Amino acid sequence: MSSDDFSIRVEGLSKRYEIYAHPADRLKQMILPRVQRAVRRPAHAWFSEFWALRDVSFEVRKGETVGIVGRNGSGKSTLLQMICGTLNPTLGKISVNGRIAALLELGAGFNPEFTGRENIRLSGLLYGLSEQELDARHDAILDFAEIGGFIDQPVKTYSSGMYVRLAFAVAINVSPDVLVVDEALSVGDEAFQRKCFARIDQIRASGATVLFVSHATGTVTSLCNRALLLDRGELLTEGSPKYVVSRYQKILYSPADKYQSIRERIKSAKETDAFLVEEKGPLRAMAAGIAGADEPDVLEEPAADDRIATKLVADKAAGNGCGKEAGGSFFEKGLVPKSTFRYDSHGALILDPHVETPGGRRVNILEAQREYVYAYRVRFDRTARDVRCGMLIKAVTGLELAGCITSWHGQSLRRVEAGSEVEVRFRFPCLFASGAYFLNAGVQGCVAGEDIYLDRWIDGAMFKVLHQPGRLATTTMDLGIKPEIRVATGVTVR
């Protein structure tokens, strides 16, 4: 990689906020210590300090989309502000390659008394556009903002949605080399959000770099190809969005007493290499990883007593005519999730989450349109009441596709004694397109009068769906949509 391939480079960045009791103290701090040093007296500090960011280093390559996650007060905004140049770093260096447009505080440069048109001009100039560039983009901005006749009204009369749409339209139409987005996408209706994402995609496709901060972890996983986790001003870990988001959630839900140890563990752990193959998109990386293991290590023969499964498939075949002889699905030992993440247990342990055929044969390479069972056992160390178990199927991007729980609160297993073991089975039709899928498992219940997660696995198991030739359904799920096409008038040749 050549040295000017980077878009943002941050080296040893630290920010100390100096908190002054009076604004005048800031002025004293600028002048008096120099005087004191000049007369060889110890310099006095007029502020109390707060380190918002400590020794953060990372590099963003051109064209990457990088997400930053972290709890409130973890230093995300400080970092972004320094990258944009509104804040000065106390220590360290930032280099940014190219024009940077920030959606930090949308409409911050707007004057409420002025019309939308005037504000477009003003904030365009703020972004460093020339008058000519502004004229050229004016129509595109108006189109994007969808404000209609209100554009000639003062922006104070705008609804908050219109206000932000206009601000967004300006920011996103300045053709930045680096786009910094901070929580800005939670505005507008879904159609507008979709448009924003499409526009960000377009900006990305044109080779720009996007830096993205959000609490919406789903957005981070689906939009970014790398993520950083900040906590208390420190860069805890970086890696694939899925990996980082799972660590973020761990931090987020950690009890106060365990927080430090969890934090240390995340900091010292490194993501396995398989997850760092992100440039072609996680899905392809995963597929490549599987294809790389040419010969499956273990290819279990169909079990002889797989009668129930055969019967089931036969039933299905009779029903909709899509069934085949069982046995197309098999187990591949190497295919285990590398992103498995276990929450701390509270009195129960989930054991061995896996997928099997209805007959009980363990599989992880599945055929579409057949039924399978997701099963796990739960061992109870403490007596629990009101026990419910749940599952969730997710796509590689982290998108949650489908979930199920064994029962609602109140209709669940009344009481499970300590030492007992519970078996949970979720039967599901494999309605997915080819690709890899991940499974969560969770047990909720009442221990010591408190209704909590007794145990919880993220990405406890995974399966891959084989490509199905002749599949008409597009994208992820096949809901059995029946296409029909005929010539209404006229003649056509087939």
* Interacting residue ranges for other proteins, rule: CB under 8 A: 17-18, 20, 23-24, 26-27, 29-30, 81, 84-89, 102, 104-105, 108-109, 111, 113-114, 118, 121-122, 125-126, 130-131, 154
The structure tokens listed for 58 are: 């990372």
Q: How far is the CB of 85 from other proteins (least distance, A)?
A: 5
Residue with Cβ nearer other proteins (50 or 253): 50
Helix, coil or strand: residue 469: coil
Q: How far is the CB of 73 from other proteins (least distance, A)?
A: 17
d(CA 326, CA 480): 21
- 203, HSE (Cβ side, Cα atoms, 13 Å): 27
Burial of 345 (0-12, 13-18, 19+ CB in 10 A): middle
Residue with Cβ nearer other proteins (92 or 403): 92
Residue with Cβ nearer other proteins (56 or 454): 56
Q: How far is the CB of 195 from other proteins (least distance, A)?
A: 24
278-300: burial string, b at 16+ Cβ within 10 Å, e else: beeebeebbbebbeeeeeeeeee
Partnered with residue 70 across adjacent β-strands are 230
Residue with Cβ nearer other proteins (109 or 161): 109
Q: How far is the CB of 82 from other proteins (least distance, A)?
A: 9
* Dihedral angle of Cα 288, 294, 295, 299, to the nearest 10 degrees: 30
Residue 282, H or E segment: helix 282-292
Q: How far is the CB of 276 from other proteins (least distance, A)?
A: 33
Q: How far is the CB of 234 from other proteins (least distance, A)?
A: 22
Residue with Cβ nearer other proteins (125 or 433): 125
160-172 vs 131-145: helix crossing angle, rounded to 10: 140
Q: How far is the CB of 12 from other proteins (least distance, A)?
A: 14
d(CA 82, CA 78): 6
Q: What is the largest CA-CA distance in the chain?
A: 99
- 402, HSE (Cβ side, Cα atoms, 13 Å): 13
Q: How far is the CB of 87 from other proteins (least distance, A)?
A: 6
Partnered with residue 365 across adjacent β-strands are 330, 464
Residue with Cβ nearer other proteins (171 or 224): 171
**CA 375 vs CA 388, 403, 442, 463: distances in Å:** 14, 14, 12, 13
Q: How far is the CB of 22 from other proteins (least distance, A)?
A: 9
Strand pairing of 209-213 and 413-416?
Answer: unpaired
Residue with Cβ nearer other proteins (134 or 378): 134
Residue with Cβ nearer other proteins (85 or 419): 85
Strand pairing of 371-380 and 421-429?
Answer: antiparallel
Residue with Cβ nearer other proteins (89 or 241): 89
Residue with Cβ nearer other proteins (146 or 177): 177
Q: How far is the CB of 230 from other proteins (least distance, A)?
A: 20
d(CA 62, CA 178): 9
Burial of 470 (0-12, 13-18, 19+ CB in 10 A): exposed
Name which of 491, 356, 476 is nearest 425 in CA terms.
356
